[in-house]
Amino acid sequence: MITDEFSKDLSAFVGTHFVYTYDNGWKYEWYARNATTCDYRIHQGLVGGRWVTNQSMNAVQFAPGIYKVDWHEPTGTCVSLLFDINREVIHGTIFFPQWIAGEGQHPEKTICYQNEFIEDMHRFRDEGPAYPYVVIPEFAKVTYMKNEGPDNDAVINMPPGQMPEDYFKDK
């Protein structure tokens, strides 16, 4: 098998805290809480203001310093991120159900601290419409990257608004 030991080594990735801006202007903050969980805040974008902690994810090391992360949200949205740590570049694809990102639909229904509204998100997801999915593939430039250690509750613990306190230092 091509996978296994190498791909499972996430030791240099877990604990990393990123801020990045997509080419379409959307700005995200994302934290690899541990090998199976992430936290994030959305500073700018279709669902700017939304934030989530303890989201289950799948993560692998695809090549040295290149990590791929995939997950499914309670809203029905799917996200796939590819992190190139050395180049400080990410490619993200978000797969939005129609009820969030379709013409005249309702992205604002997902703008909250999702953890407190999981039942609502499941209800919206099940009400749909889900299809056709709106697929948004974009490159992003990393503007902040720091290892904060695993399972650090201080990294993503409030709604989006401010950047990390040392964000503007030596940049």
Query: 134 has which bridge partners?
Result: 96
- 67 as an active site residue: the answer is no
Site membership for ligand FER, residue 29 (CB under 6 A): no
Contact map string, positions 42 to 81, toward ligand FER, x by CB under 6 A: -----x--x----------------------x---x-x-x
Query: 57 has which bridge partners?
Result: none
Cα 53 from chain centre? 10
Measured distance CA(31)–CA(157) in Å, rounded: 11
In the complex, least distance from residue 146 CB atom to ligand FER, rounded to whole angstroms: 17
CB atoms within 10 A of CB 35: 16
Of 6 and 56, the one with the shorter C-beta distance to ligand FER is 56
Cβ atoms of residues 140 and 100 within 8 Å: no
In the complex, least distance from residue 28 CB atom to ligand FER, rounded to whole angstroms: 4
Site membership for ligand FER, residue 18 (CB under 6 A): no
Site membership for ligand FER, residue 30 (CB under 6 A): yes
Q: What number of CA atoms fall less than 13 Å from residue 131's CA on the CB side?
A: 0
In the complex, least distance from residue 136 CB atom to ligand FER, rounded to whole angstroms: 7
- 133 as an active site residue: the answer is no
Cβ atoms of residues 131 and 99 within 8 Å: no
3-state helix, strand, coil in the chain (%, to 5): 15, 40, 45
Catalytic residue among 20, 22, 31, 73: 73
Site membership for ligand FER, residue 94 (CB under 6 A): yes
In the complex, least distance from residue 71 CB atom to ligand FER, rounded to whole angstroms: 8
DSSP state of 25: S
Site membership for ligand FER, residue 19 (CB under 6 A): no
**Residues near ligand FER (CB under 6 A):** 28, 30, 40, 47, 50, 73, 77, 79, 81, 92, 94, 110
